[in-house]
Copies of this chain bind each other. A is one copy, B any other.
Amino acid sequence: MARPRTFDEDAVLDAATDRFWRHGYAATSVRDLGAAMGLAAPSLYNAFGDKHALFTRCLDRYLDGGMRERIRRLEATRTARAAIEAFLDEVVARSLEDRRGCLLVNSALEVAPHDPEIGTVIAERLGELEGFFLRCIRAAQRDGTANPAHRAHDLARLLLTTVLGLRVLARARPEPAVLRGAARQALALLDPPAKGQDR
């Protein structure tokens, strides 16, 4: 019953997400956002509220479109052990080819400590990732592809920590050997005890 929008909401949100992703929340100005999105300031404010609301929207969209879908796909198509390996491999590959790192990790450090609402969202998503690892580890322990002597909770926490650490390391020292070595060693922790391979 009125004038329709002239922009594609998905496209402009992608553009905004990219700016936040690259430069962080504080270092991204509304003018930057407007230019990247192809919107004048009033259209931006009319459509999305203010800068903070736009960021929240971008972060939610990023998290929904990225991690959840990936977790679901891996759990549906792979064995538990293979799902863990594939997830870590994907983190390493993405870290090496995309210098922006991970918007979730970037935001966890920059925004979450000063913004309870976003902090809660991020904590929940980290919890989801931990849950994914925990489910896979328990399943792998049952089917013999993971060492049942380790506590599943702690293993899941270490894998979560490893993912976050890889994302940090990649942004300061994006060397394939380093990232791949760390990921390989984290996976080695899952291995069940070898019977006749001692040195």
Contact = CB atoms under 8 A, between A and B. Distances in A.
Interface in A84-122: 99, 101, 105-106, 108-110, 112-114, 119, 122
Interface string A175-199: 0001101101110110001100111
A126 B162 contact: no
B151 A160 contact: no
Contacts of A189: 185, 188-189
A148 interface: yes
A154 interface: yes
A153 B169 contact: no
Interface residues of A, number: 56
Given A161-B169, A165-B160, A150 B188 contact: yes
Interface in A3-53: 23-24, 26-27
A34 to B, nearest CB: 19
Contacts of A151: 181, 185
Contacts of A194: 193
15 contacts: A24-B26, A101-B109, A112-B171, A119-B172, A123-B172, A126-B173, A151-B185, A153-B181, A157-B178, A157-B179, A157-B182, A161-B166, A162-B165, A168-B168, A185-B189
